[in-house]
Chains A and B, each alone.
Chain A
Amino acid sequence: MSRIVTRDLTKAYGDLAVIEPLSLDVPAGQFISVIGPSGCGKTTLMRVLAGLEPPSGGDVTVDGQAPATARSRKRVAMVPQQPGLLPWRTVRANARLLLDVNRASTPPDAADPTALLQEVGLGDFMDAYPHELSGGMQQRVALVRALALHAPLLVMDEPFAALDEITRAGMRGLLNHLVEGRGVTVFFITHSIAEAVALSDRVLVSSPRPARVVADITVDLPRPRAADVEDEPRFVELCAQVRHALHGGMS
């Protein structure tokens, strides 16, 4: 069964169309990226899938249920663009935040974030406060915070956009390592072509607003992916394919 199913999904604010009719099937465990120009409606699509905004028309299900239901059952984990860590909570407590909030709905298989924090290299910083961490470390805590929920769908809104290029490259490797073999479906929004190709099984290229899928590109790079995947000729080819679709969609 597909994790995300949309049929003629549309979104408009008054007369302003943001998403053109979209029909999409995302199988379980797929890492799907949406890339498109600023303001094209990618984030709106993510918010609809996360149950934070109702669609204007069409059908949408996440994990077989309405997004709002999935949200209330904590079946969607979000990683925002800014880490959004609470400054008064330690790293450990921040990683637990989504488990602690609305505790009654926390799924029984939610993971203790301690092991995850160790996995992302924050084992020595469990009791540190966010202001003691670098931007990359803060975003790693935000990743753990979302993964600890054990939700079948992970939505990420340009989570590495605020990081420097060296840190971003490291985060790509880390995210690949974290999601491979976990069976989680990832809906990833990005501005970076290399990021989309390095991380994804599939890249959707969107037109400027209103969002319309101009290309649906399968990324057939083998997994697990090492950091040097970005040196392979196939990687470069795929990046070019995405870039052409992006520029074709904009003209």
Chain B
Amino acid sequence: MSRRFLAPAVGIVVFLGVWEAFVRIFHVRKFVLRAPSAALRHLWNTRSTFLEAGWITVQHAGVGLLISLTIGVLVGAVLAASPFLEHATQPVLTLVQVAPWFAYVSSVVLWLGSGTPPALFMVGLVCLPAYVFATVDGMRSVEPATLELFRSVDAGRWEVLWRLRLPSAAPVLFTTSRFNLGLALAAAYYVEGANLSNEGIGAIGRRASAAASGADTLWAAVFAMAILGVLGLLLISLLQHVVLHWHAAHRTRPA
């Protein structure tokens, strides 16, 4: 079991070591790249500021992600039942997915005001297409024979959805959550920098990039976001392990 944790730890230590060495040997300018030791030291020294801001960012990304998941599953369930609606919605969702969301953040801030609302909106929006597509695929992945078995006792649509289609979509929803987590954190960080409220790690990062002496703070913010991402992934893995203990990927011994 220790190997499971040893290998990733070795990978991270080596990566940070190479980075540190690169910055020191080539005397890279501060804003271009900061040595991890300096960034982490600064993060530790200003930890109370970062903890407070981090908690805001966690709420923006986490709540936004949950809102997106909820809406995505609801929309996906409707689309899985209606190919016409699915084909009508697909181009819109694809547009949302590929359009550069950071380009219209200021418009969203103008519309929804400063603070939390634009952050939740943007996180929810950028994560939505992947959740909808995943739900549609997952719900359609049900075995026809199992569906027939449900039909053989005249199961209602709602029961098929609840007892069969939704659990079938759970594995792909977890996979999508891992992918969306990075997107959610990026959107939260970006909106916090643009929403004029000076809250969250994104606001710290924005102020730091505007200040001549902000290099340490900027790179501390980068590390803080990375730490949040790792913690988020661990949480998703934990949930996945509990919820999907029956799934093929979690079988502890071969059948």
In the bound complex, residues from chain B placing their C-beta under 8 Å from that of A76 are: 152
CB distance from A179 to the nearest CB of B (A): 18
Whether B154 pairs with A88 at a CB distance below 8 angstroms is no
> Which has the most chain A C-beta neighbours within 10 Å: B143, B146, B159, B247?
B146
Binary contact track A74-98/B, C-beta < 8 Å → 1, others 0? 1011101110101110000000011
Complex interface: stretch among A8-16, A126-134, A191-199, A237-245: A126-134
Category for how many chain A residues contact B = 20 to 34
Nearest A residue to B147 by beta-carbon distance?
A: A84
In the bound complex, residues from chain B placing their C-beta under 8 Å from that of A84 are: 143, 145-146, 149
Q: Given the complex of chains A and B, what is the CA–CA distance between A98 and B155 in angstroms?
A: 9
User: For chain B residues 218-255, which have a beta carbon within 8 Å of chain A?
Assistant: 246-248, 251, 255
Whether B255 pairs with A78 at a CB distance below 8 angstroms is no
In the bound complex, residues from chain A placing their C-beta under 8 Å from that of B248 are: 87, 131
Whether A102 pairs with B155 at a CB distance below 8 angstroms is yes
User: For chain A residues 214-234, which have a beta carbon within 8 Å of chain B?
Assistant: none
Q: Does A1 contact B (CB under 8 A)?
A: no
Nearest B residue to A130 by beta-carbon distance?
A: B246
CB distance from B165 to the nearest CB of A (A): 11
Q: Does A105 contact B (CB under 8 A)?
A: yes
Whether A101 pairs with B150 at a CB distance below 8 angstroms is yes
Whether A78 pairs with B146 at a CB distance below 8 angstroms is no
Whether B159 pairs with A88 at a CB distance below 8 angstroms is no
Q: Given the complex of chains A and B, what is the CA–CA distance between A101 and B167 in angstroms?
A: 15
Whether A102 pairs with B154 at a CB distance below 8 angstroms is yes
Whether A52 pairs with B143 at a CB distance below 8 angstroms is no
Category for how many chain B residues contact A = 20 to 34
Binary contact track A58-81/B, C-beta < 8 Å → 1, others 0? 000000000000011010111011
Partner of B149, one of A80, A88, A105: A80
Q: Does B151 contact A (CB under 8 A)?
A: yes
Q: Given the complex of chains A and B, what is the CA–CA distance between A82 and B255 in angstroms?
A: 17
User: How many inter-chain residue pairs (CB < 8 Å) link A and B?
Assistant: 64
Q: Does B103 contact A (CB under 8 A)?
A: no
Whether B145 pairs with A82 at a CB distance below 8 angstroms is yes
CB distance from A5 to the nearest CB of B (A): 20
Q: Given the complex of chains A and B, what is the CA–CA distance between A164 and B170 in angstroms?
A: 32
CB distance from A83 to the nearest CB of B (A): 9
In the bound complex, residues from chain A placing their C-beta under 8 Å from that of B100 are: none
Q: Does B164 contact A (CB under 8 A)?
A: yes
Whether A131 pairs with B251 at a CB distance below 8 angstroms is yes
In the bound complex, residues from chain A placing their C-beta under 8 Å from that of B145 are: 80-82, 84
CB distance from A7 to the nearest CB of B (A): 24
Nearest A residue to B155 by beta-carbon distance?
A: A101
Partner of B154, one of A71, A131, A133: A71
Q: Does B211 contact A (CB under 8 A)?
A: no
Q: Given the complex of chains A and B, what is the CA–CA distance between A104 and B46 in angstroms?
A: 62
Partner of A105, one of B143, B154, B247: B154
Whether A105 pairs with B255 at a CB distance below 8 angstroms is no
Whether A74 pairs with B246 at a CB distance below 8 angstroms is no
Q: Does B24 contact A (CB under 8 A)?
A: no
Whether B146 pairs with A102 at a CB distance below 8 angstroms is no
A–B complex contacts, Cβ < 8 Å, 15 sampled: A74-B154, A77-B152, A78-B148, A80-B149, A81-B145, A84-B149, A86-B167, A88-B170, A88-B247, A98-B153, A101-B150, A102-B156, A102-B159, A132-B255, A149-B153
Known: A76-B152, A131-B248, A131-B255. 5 other contacts (CB 8 A): A82-B143, A86-B146, A102-B155, A133-B255, A134-B255
Task: List chain A positions with a Cβ less than 8 A from chain B.
Answer: 50-52, 71-72, 74, 76-78, 80-82, 84, 86-88, 97-98, 100-102, 105, 129-134, 149
